[in-house]
Amino acid sequence: MSMTAGAAMNLDTDDFLARYWQQQPLLIRQAVANFVPPVSSDELAGLALEESVESRIIESVGGNWQLFHGPFSASDYTRPNPWTLLVQAVDHYVLEVAQLRKLVDFIPGWRVDDVMVSYAVDGGSVGPHYDNYDVFLLQGEGRRRWQIGQHCDANTPILPQDDLRIIRDFDVQAEYVLEPGDMLYVPPGVAHWGIAEGECTTFSIGFRAPRIDDLVARFTDALLAAHAQGEAFFRDSNLEAAARPGEIRVQDIARMRAQLRAALDQAVDERWFGELVTEPRYDAMPAEDELAESLHTLHAGATALFLAPESKLAWQATVNGIDVFANGASRSFSAGILELITTVCGEWELRDVMFASARDNAEQCELLCYLLATGCAYVE
């Protein structure tokens, strides 16, 4: 299965981005022709036995859904009612699953969250629900019937079930049966409901979307750090005489808004955004002894560097060079590392002449050390 962007999928990416992305669902028949799932249902069940792996089981009981959190034992996989196992971030543990992210690398990499994999017995389902993020649902083993419903928001009625957002009134507007290699794109806020027809697995490539509240908070922190406002005060020159004692007037509010907009428009270090969108969901920092060993290997005979599957890596061009964001951290480099960072982000590895050249160049070697220190890469 080729992993070249656009070429690996039966998809016109320009048309998709113009007409469907964050707008409406799209069914892509045989998105990946002859798709062989990179992890089996048995392997998935094995992962869910691990303490470090986030997993859930959702069981359908008489029209209600019950949620159980892992880690699980083998006995948890024998249940009297239809059930679904969901394992989060399988791409962090299985490189072949991580490679599925390259199917959608026409979308900026920092938008990708993880690849969740689910297994369901016949009739298994997580119920009608909606998400606040984009998701590509790639069918692995077996068949799953997907129903598409209405657009939802925070006001949509949901059932009172702990930790589950089951929609109370699901309005079916379209229905598809997905077979291996078929893919369904669902934008944020669109209700959907998948029901297994026989045993099946689904690979869910999910995207992160930072909350506007978080953007405002991070921007405000950066603004205050860059421009201490202790000596700046509200001003009201050319003041109109007060006619009614105690009144806050329309023109007072207008002055406040104008001065606030002027404050917000001041130049600010924008690295906060890259740091926010590359923050890992799980701790990715290496232990001190692990880092020391990696740095020793880098300088004492390593022949290649590999991007860790769980890493969150991005970069931004600035007037002074390149800012590199790695698992929530940031560091500035000169523009001379551009080819190197784009290769690491695109190929997920450095080998042979390019790796040796980077190791022998002071600034490029500093970038390699930074990637090791943030847990974004490892060397062999």
Confidence band for 228, pLDDT divided at 50, 70 and 90: low
Same CATH fold, 278-379 and 13-207? no
Give one word for 157, left, alpha or beta, with left for phi > 0 and alpha for psi -120 to 50. beta
Higher-scoring residue by pLDDT: 180, 284: 180
Reply yes or no on whether the pLDDT at 101 is more than 90. yes
Q: Indicate the pTM of the whole model.
A: 0.91
CATH homologous superfamily, domain 13-207: Cupin (2.60.120.650)
The class (CATH top level) of 278-379 is alpha beta
d(C-alpha 90, C-alpha 200), whole Å: 16
pLDDT digits (tens, 9 = 90+) for 41-98: 999 999 999 999 999 999 998 878 999 999 999 999 999 999 999 999 999 999 999 9
d(C-alpha 379, C-alpha 155), whole Å: 49
Q: Which residue has the tokens 């806020």?
A: 189
282-286 long-range contacts, Cβ below 8 Å, gap at least 24?
A: 282/89, 282/92, 282/310, 284/308, 284/310, 284/311, 284/312, 284/327, 284/374, 284/375, 284/376, 285/327, 285/374, 285/375, 286/372, 286/373, 286/375
Boundaries of every domain in the chain: 13-207, 212-269, 278-379
The pLDDT score that the predictor gives to residue 8 is 64
The CA-atom distances, in angstroms, between 180 and each of 13, 28, 186 are 21, 12, 18
The residue-averaged pLDDT of 317-338 equals 97
The pLDDT score that the predictor gives to residue 162 is 65
Q: Which residue has the tokens 């001003």?
A: 235
The CA-atom distances, in angstroms, between 15 and each of 11, 21, 102, 137 are 8, 9, 18, 19
pLDDT digits (tens, 9 = 90+) for 117-165: 999 999 999 999 999 999 999 999 999 999 999 999 999 999 887 678 8
Confidence band for 263, pLDDT divided at 50, 70 and 90: confident
